[in-house]
């Protein structure tokens, strides 16, 4: 009986130790995945921040040599044609089932419906989003011509608040009080930034442009979710490639008209600042790739954090490169807008997470108290035993 009990105890201990090792292995594996994802996230934050701030500053420099916001918008949007080829290269490197470009293209076209990409689908589901894309970029560049980069990048962060308001109205998303507060902060920041320059016509026009750009961006995101739903990586790459190709084919006549009407005129092609033009287009392409495909390797919140961090980066660059006055009202307005943006990054169940965290901390404190009490009573019992033994021996 003793041997059987001993064997049973040893067997039970072995099972428990094996399960413990398995749990430990799973925890280590999960922790390693999270650490890897966090490291990728830090790198992604830096890349998103530098590409967005860099494209903004380069666009500002471009206008000093070639003041052509629509031509720059058309040129940078045309670079979207590279999305699907770059995606297909990644598909060949990562996917075990390698498809031909034609096969991959047809598979991604199912995103538009059973019939694929038809003329009707293009003019009803693609062309409107292409116009919103061009409008967003054009208004953003127009704002850069009127006001400094810090104000433009800070005000554009309001598009997160506009997305929430439109999603609440159009998509019937869940109402969240904290996001309403964030939207109010964004609107208050817009008013304060307008007041910071004394309501001059130049600054008011620039602020109007960038708020309209943020609104167009929010409308693009909400309507995309309403009309097309959620897209996979290949489908998103194909969609943006079609937008770039349609921009090149259908809107190439607009820069030509602007050239001949001397609205956006240049003396010769050789005099164009090609380094700045290609730099802006390349950085915007990198930014859009990181924003659209970065969620595959890290958390979406970290990608959004990179956008808001471009505001202080632009502020530092503006401080050393142009005549900008950071008065108290401007600093408070930028801080309020960024705070509202960060509040919008909170998950929907953030209050439940806080409650669960508080409950776990309370349970740990309660389990720690009896252990301490048991330890102290054990010490007292030992002291008494020693005293009685010494008395008995005497």
Alpha helices, H only, the chain: 2-65, 69-78, 83-94, 101-109, 119-121, 127-146, 149-156, 159-170, 177-196, 201-227, 233-250, 253-260, 274-293, 300-321, 328-344, 350-393
Q: Residue 70 is encoded by which pair of tokens?
A: 């629509």
Q: Which residue in 113, 119, 114 sits closest to 228, CA to CA?
A: 113
Residue ranges per domain, the chain? 41-352
Q: Report the pLDDT value the prediction gives residue 247, as an integer from 0 to 100.
A: 94
Confidence at residue 132, expressed as pLDDT on a 0 to 100 scale:
94
The neighbour count for residue 352, using CB atoms within 10 Å, is 10
Place of tokens 């096969």: 103
Please list the pLDDT of the chain residue by residue as tens digits (394 residues).
444 444 444 444 444 445 545 554 444 555 776 777 778 778 888 998 999 999 999 999 999 999 999 999 999 999 999 999 998 888 888 777 778 888 888 888 888 887 888 888 899 889 999 999 999 999 999 999 988 888 888 889 888 888 888 888 887 777 777 777 777 877 887 777 777 666 666 788 888 999 999 999 999 999 988 888 888 888 889 999 999 999 999 999 999 999 999 898 888 888 899 999 999 999 999 999 988 877 767 777 777 788 888 888 888 888 888 767 777 877 887 888 888 777 777 766 655 666 666 777 777 777 765 555 554 444 443 444 444 434 434 3
DSSP string for 284-353: HHHHHHHHHHGGGTS-HHHHHHHHHHHHHHHHHHHHHHS-----HHHHHHHHHHHHHHHHHTS-TTHHHH
Token reading at 209? 């442009």
- The helix (H) or strand (E) run that includes residue 200 is none
CA distance linking residue 189 with residue 214, whole number of Å: 14
According to the model, what pLDDT value does residue 364 have?
72
8 Å CB contact between 99 and 302: no
How far is 248 from 340, CA to CA, in rounded Å?
37
> What pLDDT is stored for residue 257 in this prediction?
94
CB atoms within 10 A of CB 253: 8
Q: Model pTM?
A: 0.78
**CB-based contacts of 133, cutoff 8 Å, min separation 6:** 77, 220, 243
Q: Is 150 exposed, middle or buried (0-12, 13-18, 19+ CB in 10 A)?
A: buried
């Amino acid at each position: 009986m003793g041997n059987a009990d001993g064997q049973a105890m040893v067997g039970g201990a072995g099972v428990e130790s094996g399960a413990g090792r398995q749990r430990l292995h799973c925890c280590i594996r999960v922790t390693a995945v999270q650490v890897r994802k966090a490291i990728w996230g830090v790198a992604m934050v830096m890349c998103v921040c530098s590409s967005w701030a860099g494209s903004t500053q380069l666009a500002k420099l471009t206008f000093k040599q070639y003041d052509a916001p629509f031509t720059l918008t058309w040129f940078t949007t045309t670079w979207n044609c590279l999305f699907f080829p770059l995606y297909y290269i990644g598909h060949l490197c990562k996917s075990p089932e390698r498809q031909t470009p034609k096969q991959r293209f047809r598979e991604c076209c199912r995103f538009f419906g059973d019939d694929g990409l038809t003329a009707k689908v293009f003019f009803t589901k693609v062309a409107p989003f292409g116009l919103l894309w061009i409008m967003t970029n054009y208004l953003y560049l127009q704002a850069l011509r009127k006001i400094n980069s810090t104000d433009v990048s800070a005000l554009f962060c309001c598009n997160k608040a506009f997305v929430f308001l439109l999603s609440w109205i159009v998509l019937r998303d869940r109402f969240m009080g904290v996001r309403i507060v964030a939207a109010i902060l964004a609107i208050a920041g817009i008013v304060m930034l307008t007041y910071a320059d004394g309501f001059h016509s130049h600054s008011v026009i620039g602020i109007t442009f960038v708020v309209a750009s943020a609104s167009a961006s929010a409308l693009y995101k909400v309507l995309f979710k309403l009309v097309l739903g959620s897209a996979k990586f290949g489908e998103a790459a194909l969609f943006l490639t079609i937008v770039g190709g349609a921009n090149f084919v259908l809107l190439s006549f607009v820069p030509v008209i602007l050239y001949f009407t001397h609205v956006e005129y240049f003396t010769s092609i050789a005099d164009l600042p090609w380094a700045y033009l290609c730099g802006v287009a390349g950085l915007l392409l990198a930014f859009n790739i990181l924003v659209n495909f970065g969620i595959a390797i890290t958390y979406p919140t970290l990608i959004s954090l990179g956008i808001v961090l471009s505001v202080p980066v632009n502020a530092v660059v503006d401080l050393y490169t142009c005549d900008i006055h950071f008065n108290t009202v401007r600093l408070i307005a930028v801080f309020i807008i960024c705070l509202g943006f960060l509040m919008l990054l909170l998950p929907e169940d953030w209050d439940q997470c806080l409650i669960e965290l508080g409950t776990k901390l309370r349970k740990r404190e309660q389990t720690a108290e009896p252990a301490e009490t048991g330890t102290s009573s054990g010490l007292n019992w030992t002291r008494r035993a020693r005293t009685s033994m010494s008395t008995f021996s005497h």
